[in-house]
Chain A
Amino acid sequence: FAQSDPNFIYFNDPKWSNMWYIHCSVKNSRCRSEMNILAAWQRGYTGRNVVITILDDGIEKNHPDLAQNYDQLASYDVNGNDHDPMPRYDSSNENKHGTRCAGEVAAVANNSHCIVGIAYNARIGGIRMLDGDVTDVVEAKSLGIRPDYIDIYSASWGPDDDGKTVDGPGPLAKQAFEVGIKKGRKGLGSIFVWASGNGGRQGDHCSCDGYTNSIYTISVSSSTENGNKPWYLEVCSSTMATTYSSGEFYDRKIITTDLRQRCTDGHTGTSVSAPMVAGIIALALEANPLITWRDVQHLLVKTSRPVHLKASDWKTNAAGHKVSHLYGFGLVDAEAMVVEAKKWRSVPPQHTCTKMSDRRTRYIRPDQKLNVTMSSTGCSGQPDQHVAFLEHVVVRVLIVHPRRGDLEISLVSPSGTRSQLLAKRLFDNSNEGFRNWEFMTVHCWGERAEGTWTLEISDSPSQLRSNLEVLGKLKEWTLILYGTSEHPYQSHGSHHSRARMLEIPSVQSPEPSPSTTQQHEDEEEEEYTGPCHHECGDQGCDGPDADHCLNCIHFSLGSLKTGRRCVSHCPSGYFEDTEARRCRRCHRGCEKCVGRSSKECRSCRRGLYFHTEESSCIENCPNGYFNDEVQRHCLKCHENCVKCVQDADRCTACKKDFSLAGMTCVPECTNGTFFNLEEMKCSPCHVSCSTCTGPGMEECLHCSRDFLQEEWRCVPKCSPGHYPSDSIGFPQRMCRKCEENCIRCQGPGTRCTNCRDGYSLLSGTCIFHATCNNTDEVFCDMVKSNRLCEKKLFRQFCCRTCLMTG
């Protein structure tokens, strides 16, 4: 209901009205924008002084929606080993990913271009590192770029999710994470945001993605607008939070900047979610630049919540946090993040308590769950390792197994919280087992560490399993508990989370004191005694409905004549007069407005379109605008378009010096050049062309001076069998074909001067050589008298003889 909020922010960016995940422009639509980004902006946080970089395939730094926020110092090209992170262009636009991610984070607001970034005043850079051989060195370099300057690193990539890969950061990348955590942001710790492990294929489990399973990365998941699981999403015990993203074809999409200075709503997957969370963390960092990398994770745990996200495994852990394998702690809440961050006190130092199992090998029998337990005191005996309250829990396993994909692994905490560390993977035929692979869960966040931990391993042989005789073996496993030795929130005085108060019934807003209630009741006794409608104000009511109120809390709708009732929000066609607390009618044709006059219209009724420049509703948008059917707005065409339909980029007429290429307006190139769509500039035509559609000879439209057009190309002189001629109405000289069988002529008809072999020249035409020795037989007389030889059809029949014989 942001629209009805007088503080509603309106930007002139063409796609602003489509950014459903940031604001709801139509009240009763199914729009959900519970990420509360708008509310965070209204509190004044837009990412100022925060630097974010995108580790990907580059960033189009001259994109009109990025250029203003682009930060050269937060950029580097590891693939090219230089400071220019511009992506490599090719016809498939494969290197669009980084630019799309960047736009979500920090696309400039109110500049009439594409969208508005979540942290639209933050600085954004790009590290080009995917467009080449990605190696451990490349990743380590990328993760280690300017850690004292860059605050947040966002990455939307990872190992193959073919359902059989187990891969993660190599030794150098791991060290880069650790160095970044220890030293980055001048000791506060770099913040690494990672898209949760999916890739668009089925049958995988993202615990086999070592990046999202690292405690140093914030793994982000996605939900569709309706709170459903996108088809590409995998479950994961290390997922921390969720944002909206794309889903099925009927779900609304995320819109962002695109390569070649364009705009797209084709950005999908958890690739969308990592930059979103990076942007939201930027807002939190602006609210409190001193929060550490662990504070950020605590904030996310505290403020994210399930809202309408649908998951079958939502559970409340022993610390009161709702958590699921699909969505972690739920949908991020930008407003709660900035509110909490503002008053946040850093959590106590992180402790690590490690305990290794004995080295006794345990056999993993098919269809018989192996349960191994480990009792832990949380290293209470070692103060500097003591973990009382949990953050991340890591299980490092050494398992030998003939077919890895048949394994399922779960961990149950002392409080009974179950985390699924690994699910079966249909495609994983590997016999390598797990060699010190680390599974991680955040599901026990805030719980007590002390107690008995249970690791459950089950083996369900698939049909592909070759030999059932060979058993799997758990060689050893190590439990690594991360957390604090004291309660993370109580040791520094109270900072209660708004979100917590909302969620936990036991912490209620103080009950009214009995005396007040009693007094209240007394007053109403002579009059209508039943309860008033909740919209009634303090003057009470004379009946239960909203039209029985004597005054209203929010707004009154209607007139004395038609009957007046109290409403919390004014319906469409009305605006909220906050002073008079009345709903007043908008100007005719207006659906949303902020005042009575036609100039104060904000959206229109069906069939009309809102023209921003005039702030009025019109039937058809003027030139330079198109009718946006979704929001019923007149949206600007692309700057080069004079006319467009259905979308800014679907041009039907171009401005001066531009011409249409398909539905795109491209600069008109001077003579001898053509507009190269790939390079987005005018490139020279072939030397023989004065205008062309491409560089090749065969792409000429008009020939250059001194060239003639012969069939589909331009030639300096006509080739044999052709003669030069002018063409009426064309400046272009042409090479036309001579008569059949004539290899040189001076014009059409009987102006041949040379015949091809087998033919002889006769009065300007080519006669077939065939001779016959009896003219009578071939009716020469008749042929001659009827001048058949002039008919091309008959010429082949002994005309030569007939004519020759005179």
Chain B
Amino acid sequence: SPSRSVFTNHWAVRVRGGAEEADKLASKYGFTNFGQIGGLEDHYHFHHSHVVRRSTFATRGTHSFIHMDPKVDWIQQQIVKSRVKR
């Protein structure tokens, strides 16, 4: 449940315009673009090395402004999911 979420320093971002556009957006806010997420068009995997790797709250900083960038259609900071082997 949200109360126990662990935030990582990875983001999923939907940005149109291809990889170049994504690279530009990433570097603008200090992220590294790890490339498209599988077969999901326009979805990219961003990583921010200056944000703590794990945290129980979404850290705030200059990187947070990417959420407000007009070119960003959708963005999601990645949360660690608990997955059990069956």
Contact = CB atoms under 8 A, between A and B. Distances in A.
A137 B85 contact: no
Interface in A162-210: 165, 167, 170-172, 175-176, 179-180, 183, 195-200
Contact of B86 (A135, A137, A156): A156
A159 B38 contact: no
Contacts of A147: 39
Interface residues of A, number: 47
B83 A141 contact: no
Contact of A430 (B1, B10, B78): B1
B68 interface: no
A140 B12 CA distance: 10
Contacts of B84: 157-161, 199-200
A455 interface: no
Contacts of B80: 133-135
B37 A144 contact: yes
A271 B85 contact: yes
A274 B37 CA distance: 25
A97 B12 CA distance: 28
Interface string A63-106: 00000000000000000010000000000000001000000000
B79 interface: yes
Interface string A100-144: 000000000000000000000000000000100111111111111
A269 interface: yes
A159 B85 contact: no
A270 interface: yes
Contacts of A706: none
Interface in B72-86: 76, 78-86
A39 to B, nearest CB: 28
B86 A172 contact: no
Given A144-B38, A176-B38, A136 B85 contact: no
A147 B38 CA distance: 9
B82 A140 contact: no
B85 A56 contact: yes
Contacts of B12: 136-137, 140, 172
Given A135-B8, A144-B38, A172-B12, A97 B85 contact: yes
Interface in B1-53: 1, 6, 8, 10, 12, 34, 37-40, 43, 45
A145 interface: yes
Given A135-B8, A137-B45, A432-B1, A270 B86 contact: yes
B37 A140 contact: yes
B16 to A, nearest CB: 15
Interface string A43-70: 0000000000000110000000000000
Q: Is the interface of B mostly helix, strand, loop or mixed?
A: strand
B83 A144 contact: no
A176 B39 CA distance: 7
B51 to A, nearest CB: 14
Interface string A258-270: 0000000000011
A643 B49 CA distance: 55
Contact of B38 (A141, A170, A271): A141
Nearest to B34: A81
Nearest to A160: B82
Nearest to A183: B39
A157 B86 contact: yes
A141 B37 contact: yes
Q: Which of B10, B34, B39, B40 has the most CB of A within 10 A?
A: B39
Nearest to B84: A199
A604 to B, nearest CB: 39
A136 B39 contact: no
Contacts of B40: 140, 144, 172, 175-176, 179
A179 B85 contact: no
Contacts of B86: 156-158, 195-199, 269-271, 274
A144 B39 contact: yes
Contacts of A137: 10, 12, 37, 45, 78
A142 B38 CA distance: 8
B67 to A, nearest CB: 16
B56 to A, nearest CB: 14
A452 to B, nearest CB: 36
Of B10, B54, B83, most A-chain CB atoms within 10 Å: B83
Contacts of A145: 38
B85 A167 contact: no
Contact of A135 (B1, B43, B78): B78
Contacts of B82: 134, 159-160, 165, 167
A157 B37 contact: no
A134 B81 contact: yes
Interface in A270-295: 270-271, 274
A206 to B, nearest CB: 10
Contacts of A198: 86
Contacts of B1: 165, 430, 432
Contact of A158 (B34, B37, B83): B83
Contacts of B76: 136, 170-172
Nearest to A156: B86
A277 B60 CA distance: 46
Contacts of B79: 135-136
Contacts of A160: 82-84
Contacts of A97: 85
A179 B40 CA distance: 7
B43 A172 contact: yes
Contacts of A156: 85-86
Contacts of B6: 133
A170 B5 CA distance: 14
Given A135-B8, A157-B86, A198-B86, A180 B81 contact: no
A315 to B, nearest CB: 26
A-B interface, 9 closest residue pairs, ranked by CB to CB distance from nearest = A144-B38, A135-B78, A195-B86, A199-B84, A271-B86, A144-B39, A156-B86, A179-B39, A133-B80
23 contacts: A97-B85, A133-B8, A133-B54, A133-B78, A134-B82, A134-B83, A136-B78, A136-B81, A137-B37, A139-B81, A140-B43, A144-B37, A145-B38, A147-B39, A156-B86, A157-B83, A159-B84, A170-B76, A176-B40, A179-B38, A179-B40, A183-B39, A197-B86
Given A144-B40, A179-B40, 13 more contacts: A57-B85, A133-B8, A133-B54, A136-B76, A138-B78, A139-B81, A140-B40, A140-B43, A141-B38, A145-B38, A159-B81, A175-B40, A176-B39
